[in-house]
Structure 1
């Protein structure tokens, strides 16, 4: 890892708020999914976009994306939205009660739960007891 001097200005030191922009084909369904089913708080709305709070950043949902009938491949969408939670199986049960199918897997490095949004984008739960998240 490259270290920078503490008095050096970097792009990261200038960022006031970080965010993710998700381009969607099923715009209304994706807004409903992230806001209602996952519970991300509404922040603001403009023409063709809705912005939700996502931790200490935001998830901006916009139009003009491309949906998939199933899970998108990594070449179709090489990004997954990760939700670090204290208890993956409990969070999976909460989502499944809302009709969201979650595949829970245990690995040597932790537990994950994979699920899809209405456009086929991969979302993932991860156990937050990982020491890197403290």
Structure 2
């Protein structure tokens, strides 16, 4: 068998409806470190690179009047964004303290790992998966 073509996830890109609200959510509420932030005049668009872990980033974009993307029920395309956490209970408590509501914690029937979901400001489902 040959070597895998893909080595790792480098970044995930999100287009938000309200740039300042989403920037605050991902940097202040979730605690992702801002690597760089630029305004692209030609596209009337902000771009903010946020570090998830070394070498892995979330790119946050704004564009004038982006159309909404259907998310539920089970629309085609990106289903959710999942982050590994060492302790899902502690992560849920931290999010609740910041005003973010999470679904009840569930158990993955195949791995036995605990997980939950919450939503970002644009209702994108985000999963916390106990690693």
TM-score with structure 1 setting the length: 0.76
| Runs of 4+ displaced beyond 6 Å | none
Aligned mates of 1:77, 1:63 — CA distance in 2 = 20
- 2:53 corresponds to: 55
Aligned mates of 1:114, 1:91 — CA distance in 2 = 11
Q: Unpaired runs of 5+ in structure 2?
A: 40-45
Counterpart contact for 2:114–2:130, Cα < 8 Å: yes
Aligned mates of 1:110, 1:96 — CA distance in 2 = 21
Question: RMSD across aligned C-alpha pairs, in angstroms?
Answer: 2.3
The count of corresponding residues between Structure 1 and Structure 2 is 118
Counterpart pick for 2:30 among 4, 13, 38: 38
Counterpart contact for 1:88–1:111, Cα < 8 Å: yes
Counterpart pick for 1:12 among 6, 15, 19: 6
Aligned mates of 2:62, 2:76 — CA distance in 1 = 16
Provide closer, same or farther for how the CA distance between residues 81 and 44 of structure 1 changes in structure 2, counting only shifts above 3 A: same
Residue 36 of structure 1 and its aligned partner are, at CA, apart by 0.2
- 1:120 corresponds to: 123
TM-score with structure 2 setting the length: 0.78
Q: Unpaired runs of 5+ in structure 1?
A: 129-134
SS in 1 for 2:17: coil
